[in-house]
Amino acid sequence: MRIVIAIGGSILLKEYDSKKFEAYAEIIKQLNDDHEIFIVVGGGRPARDYIGVVRDMGVSESICDEIGIQVTRVNARLLQLALKNESYPAIPENFQEALEYACSGKIVIMGGTEPAHSTDAVSCILAEYVDADLVINATSVDGLYDKDPNKFDDAKMFSQVTPDKLLEIVSTNDNKAGTYEFIDKTAIGIIKRSNIKTVIVNGNNPENVKKAITEPIGTLIVNE
């Protein structure tokens, strides 16, 4: 299979050390034996911190986004270093470059592309662009809940959801730079229009990414 894996920056940089990068590098290498892998890395806390600094300067939301994008590319570079020579040694800045670099046979790792969306959208557009079979989104929750599981004890997790239902759930979210929730509206639109099979799993355990290929886990987003 051709698989796009989106890894939240908040997962990779939870502890601010090399361990998660190395654990993910190991899993990605294993998956790369049987599949063609593309990775999209998010911004996490450093992106939010930097965006906070520049927002205080009164710059536009697009420029805040641009700073966020630069941080995602630094995070992508760190994962690429952890993967050593199994990954292509440059970070694509757009989808055409990603496809071009994939012709090397190496794992391609990228961060953000343009303002006004998150790396979730990047992973779905990339999946559409390279005609991937599956997107695995490694995030900080077990799947999609009807409400915030950190705030509500009665929050329920969906094992499967349609893009329309998902849109309904996330439509109350804020859309400012650095504040996208685990999946943004652009991503949902792409999933819907191209029927991209997308699984959301808890990425705090990198093994869950492997499981998402072979067994039901997290939340599957599919058209009805």
Q: Return the residue of 68, 92, 163, 218 that touches ligand UTP, per CB under 6 A.
A: 68
Q: Return the residue of 3, 5, 10, 132 that touches ligand UTP, per CB under 6 A.
A: 10
Is 203 one of the binding residues for ligand UTP (CB under 6 A)?
no
Is 218 one of the binding residues for ligand UTP (CB under 6 A)?
no
Q: Return the residue of 3, 20, 21, 44 that touches ligand UTP, per CB under 6 A.
A: 44
With helix as H, strand as E and coil as C, how does 151-213 read? CCCCCCEECEECHHHHHHHHCCCCCCCCCCCCCCHHHHHHHHHHCCCEEEEECCCCHHHHHHH
Q: What is the residue-wise DSSP string for 41-108?
A: E--HHHHHHHHHHHHTTT--HHHHHHHHHHHHHHHHHHHHHHTGGGB-SS--SSHHHHHHHHTTTSBE
33 vs 66 by CB, closer to ligand UTP:
66
85 vs 148 by CB, closer to ligand UTP:
148
Q: Report phi then psi at 151, rounded to 5.
A: -105, -25
Please give the residues from 84 up to 143 whose contact with ligand UTP meets the rule CB under 6 A. 112-119, 122
Work out how close the CB of 64 gets to ligand UTP at its nearest, in angstroms, rounded to a whole number.
Answer: 6
SS3 for 32? helix
Work out how close the CB of 148 gets to ligand UTP at its nearest, in angstroms, rounded to a whole number.
Answer: 15
Tokens of residue 58, six digits: 């009164």
Is 178 one of the binding residues for ligand UTP (CB under 6 A)?
yes
Strand pairing report for 144-145 and 157-158: antiparallel
Stretch that binds ligand UTP, among 41-49, 77-85, 90-98, 145-153 (CB under 6 A): 41-49
Tokens of residue 168, six digits: 């309904």
Measure the CA dihedral 123/133/12/21, to 10°.
-130
Q: Return the residue of 161, 180, 200, 218 that touches ligand UTP, per CB under 6 A.
A: 180
Is 46 one of the binding residues for ligand UTP (CB under 6 A)?
no
Is 206 one of the binding residues for ligand UTP (CB under 6 A)?
no
Is 196 one of the binding residues for ligand UTP (CB under 6 A)?
no
Q: Return the residue of 69, 166, 188, 212 that touches ligand UTP, per CB under 6 A.
A: 69
